[in-house]
Amino acid sequence: MDAAKLKEDVQAASRSIQEGISEGLGRVQETMEERVRRGADRTQSVLTSMNEEFGGFVRESPIIALGGAFAVGYLIAKVARAFK
């Protein structure tokens, strides 16, 4: 086996490895994109459901909702002052 043949074999192996890595990275990217897309869809669904439930609660009990909003605002203000 001469040096030229050895060099050609090494280059061919290198190209093969690079192609395999590229294909693997492409599959990983597609998988991650799909998982992120599914997670975003689930999050949107949960937030929509929570918004509908909260809206229903506010319509049914506006005074309690207003009192709760005041209490939460008061607590946030207390915490914000504590960290000043």
Domain chopping of the chain, boundaries? 3-82
Please state, as a whole number, how many other Cβ atoms lie within 10 Å of the Cβ of residue 62.
10
Amino acid at 37: R
CA distances from 79 to 67, 74, 75 (A): 18, 9, 6
Does residue 82 contact residue 75 with C-beta atoms inside 8 Å? no
Residues 6+ apart with CB under 8 A from 57: 65
Per-residue confidence at 84, pLDDT binned at 50, 70, 90? confident
pLDDT at 1: 60
pTM tops 0.85, yes or no: no
Question: Quick one: average pLDDT of 24-43?
Answer: 95
Tell me the two tokens of residue 58: 């506010």
Question: Quick one: average pLDDT of 19-28?
Answer: 91
